[in-house]
Protein backbone atom coordinates (compact mmCIF):
# COMPACT_ATOMS: atom_id res chain seq x y z
CA UNK A 1 0.00 0.00 0.00
CA UNK A 2 1.25 3.46 -0.78
CA UNK A 3 0.88 6.43 1.51
CA UNK A 4 -0.88 9.14 -0.49
CA UNK A 5 -1.23 11.50 2.47
CA UNK A 6 2.23 12.96 1.91
CA UNK A 7 2.94 15.08 -1.12
CA UNK A 8 6.45 14.68 -2.50
CA UNK A 9 7.65 17.42 -4.82
CA UNK A 10 9.39 15.98 -7.89
CA UNK A 11 13.04 16.82 -8.17
CA UNK A 12 15.04 18.01 -11.13
CA UNK A 13 14.95 20.83 -13.61
CA UNK A 14 11.21 20.75 -14.17
CA UNK A 15 10.39 21.14 -10.48
CA UNK A 16 12.97 23.92 -10.14
CA UNK A 17 11.36 25.72 -13.08
CA UNK A 18 7.86 25.27 -11.61
CA UNK A 19 9.03 26.51 -8.20
CA UNK A 20 10.66 29.55 -9.79
CA UNK A 21 7.49 30.32 -11.76
CA UNK A 22 5.41 29.92 -8.61
CA UNK A 23 7.68 32.28 -6.66
CA UNK A 24 7.53 34.92 -9.40
CA UNK A 25 3.73 34.62 -9.61
CA UNK A 26 3.25 34.96 -5.84
CA UNK A 27 5.68 37.90 -5.74
CA UNK A 28 3.84 39.67 -8.57
CA UNK A 29 0.44 39.16 -6.93
CA UNK A 30 1.79 40.35 -3.57
CA UNK A 31 3.35 43.45 -5.14
CA UNK A 32 -0.06 44.10 -6.69
CA UNK A 33 -1.65 43.97 -3.24
CA UNK A 34 -3.06 40.42 -3.25
CA UNK A 35 -1.81 38.26 -0.40
CA UNK A 36 -1.60 34.57 -1.26
CA UNK A 37 -1.92 32.58 2.01
CA UNK A 38 -0.20 35.32 4.01
CA UNK A 39 2.41 36.21 1.43
CA UNK A 40 4.31 39.47 1.68
CA UNK A 41 7.29 40.99 -0.05
CA UNK A 42 10.12 41.26 2.45
CA UNK A 43 12.34 44.31 1.96
CA UNK A 44 15.65 44.46 3.81
CA UNK A 45 18.66 46.72 3.30
CA UNK A 46 21.65 44.89 1.88
CA UNK A 47 24.39 44.44 4.45
CA UNK A 48 27.11 45.70 2.12
CA UNK A 49 25.31 47.94 -0.37
CA UNK A 50 22.59 49.45 1.81
CA UNK A 51 20.23 49.01 -1.17
CA UNK A 52 16.76 47.58 -0.60
CA UNK A 53 16.59 43.87 -1.44
CA UNK A 54 13.22 42.16 -1.83
CA UNK A 55 11.94 38.60 -1.80
CA UNK A 56 8.54 36.97 -1.35
CA UNK A 57 7.97 35.40 2.08
CA UNK A 58 5.21 33.64 4.00
CA UNK A 59 4.21 35.56 7.11
CA UNK A 60 3.20 33.20 9.92
CA UNK A 61 1.01 34.30 12.82
CA UNK A 62 1.13 31.95 15.81
CA UNK A 63 -0.40 32.69 19.21
CA UNK A 64 -0.72 36.37 18.32
CA UNK A 65 2.94 36.74 17.30
CA UNK A 66 4.30 37.06 13.78
CA UNK A 67 7.26 35.13 12.38
CA UNK A 68 9.35 34.79 9.27
CA UNK A 69 10.82 31.36 8.60
CA UNK A 70 13.61 30.78 6.08
CA UNK A 71 12.71 27.44 4.44
CA UNK A 72 15.79 27.60 2.22
CA UNK A 73 18.12 28.10 5.18
CA UNK A 74 20.76 30.78 5.61
CA UNK A 75 19.92 32.80 2.49
CA UNK A 76 20.92 36.33 1.57
CA UNK A 77 17.74 37.81 3.05
CA UNK A 78 18.52 36.06 6.34
CA UNK A 79 22.07 37.41 6.38
CA UNK A 80 20.83 40.91 5.55
CA UNK A 81 18.12 40.81 8.22
CA UNK A 82 20.61 39.66 10.85
CA UNK A 83 22.76 42.70 10.13
CA UNK A 84 19.98 45.25 9.63
CA UNK A 85 17.69 44.05 12.43
CA UNK A 86 14.78 45.79 10.69
CA UNK A 87 12.93 45.63 7.42
CA UNK A 88 9.58 46.13 5.76
CA UNK A 89 6.75 43.80 4.86
CA UNK A 90 5.11 45.02 1.69
CA UNK A 91 1.69 44.25 0.32
CA UNK A 92 0.79 46.33 -2.67
CA UNK A 93 1.55 49.97 -1.84
CA UNK A 94 1.55 49.40 1.92
CA UNK A 95 4.89 49.01 3.64
CA UNK A 96 4.94 47.95 7.27
CA UNK A 97 8.25 48.52 9.08
CA UNK A 98 9.29 45.91 11.64
CA UNK A 99 12.10 44.96 13.99
CA UNK A 100 13.26 41.34 13.99
CA UNK A 101 14.67 39.08 16.69
CA UNK A 102 16.13 35.74 15.65
CA UNK A 103 14.92 32.82 17.73
CA UNK A 104 17.33 30.41 19.37
CA UNK A 105 17.06 26.82 18.10
CA UNK A 106 15.35 25.65 21.30
CA UNK A 107 12.41 28.00 20.61
CA UNK A 108 11.85 26.93 16.99
CA UNK A 109 9.93 23.60 17.06
CA UNK A 110 6.42 25.04 17.57
CA UNK A 111 7.02 27.70 14.92
CA UNK A 112 8.50 25.23 12.42
CA UNK A 113 5.59 22.84 13.02
CA UNK A 114 3.00 25.58 12.41
CA UNK A 115 4.88 26.81 9.33
CA UNK A 116 5.07 23.32 7.86
CA UNK A 117 1.42 22.65 8.62
CA UNK A 118 0.37 25.75 6.71
CA UNK A 119 2.86 25.73 3.80
CA UNK A 120 4.12 22.14 3.44
CA UNK A 121 2.70 21.98 -0.08
CA UNK A 122 4.94 24.91 -1.06
CA UNK A 123 8.10 24.49 1.03
CA UNK A 124 8.10 20.83 2.09
CA UNK A 125 10.73 19.97 -0.49
CA UNK A 126 13.27 22.09 1.44
CA UNK A 127 12.74 20.17 4.69
CA UNK A 128 14.09 16.76 3.59
CA UNK A 129 11.01 14.76 4.51
CA UNK A 130 10.38 16.48 7.86
CA UNK A 131 6.81 17.74 8.18
CA UNK A 132 4.39 19.04 10.78
CA UNK A 133 3.93 15.56 12.27
CA UNK A 134 7.60 15.34 13.27
CA UNK A 135 8.54 15.01 16.93
CA UNK A 136 9.95 17.94 18.85
CA UNK A 137 13.29 16.12 18.87
CA UNK A 138 13.29 15.88 15.07
CA UNK A 139 12.36 19.56 14.73
CA UNK A 140 15.13 20.47 17.19
CA UNK A 141 17.56 18.41 15.12
CA UNK A 142 16.83 20.40 11.95
CA UNK A 143 16.34 23.78 13.67
CA UNK A 144 19.92 25.06 13.10
CA UNK A 145 19.32 24.93 9.33
CA UNK A 146 16.15 27.05 9.35
CA UNK A 147 16.41 30.59 10.70
CA UNK A 148 13.26 31.96 12.35
CA UNK A 149 12.63 35.62 13.20
CA UNK A 150 9.95 37.00 15.53
CA UNK A 151 8.66 40.34 14.30
CA UNK A 152 7.77 43.39 16.38
CA UNK A 153 6.75 46.93 15.51
CA UNK A 154 9.72 49.06 14.49
Indicate the domain borders of the chain. 13-153
The answer to whether domain 13-153 has CATH 2.30.110.10 is yes
73-98: per-residue pLDDT in tens?
Answer: 999 999 999 999 999 999 988 999 99
Burial string for 111-122 (b: 16+ CB within 10 Å, else e) reads bbbbbbebbbeb
Please tell me whether residue 5 adopts helix, strand or coil conformation: coil
Cα–Cα distances in Å, from 19 out to 4, 24, 57, 102, 134?
Answer: 21, 9, 14, 27, 24
Mean pLDDT rounded to a whole number for the chain? 84
119-154: per-residue pLDDT in tens?
Answer: 887 788 888 889 999 999 999 999 999 999 999 997
What are the strands, taking DSSP E only, across the chain? 39-45, 52-62, 65-69, 86-91, 94-102, 148-153
Dist. CA 43–CA 55, nearest whole Å: 7
What is the pLDDT, as a whole number, of residue 22?
62
pLDDT band at 33 (very low <50, low <70, confident <90, very high): low
Q: What is the DSSP letter of 106?
A: G
- pTM of this structure: 0.79
In percent, the amount of the chain with pLDDT more than 70 equals: 76
**Smallest Cα–Cα separation from 139: which of 117, 149, 121, 3?**
117
Is it the case that residue 30 has pLDDT exceeding 80? no
End-to-end CA distance of the chain: 52
Is it the case that residue 66 has pLDDT exceeding 80? yes
What is the pLDDT, as a whole number, of residue 17?
58
Amino acid sequence: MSDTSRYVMPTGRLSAALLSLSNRTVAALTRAGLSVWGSRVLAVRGRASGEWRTTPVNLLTLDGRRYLVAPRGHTQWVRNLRVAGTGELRLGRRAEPFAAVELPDADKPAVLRAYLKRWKFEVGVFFDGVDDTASDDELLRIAPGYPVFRLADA
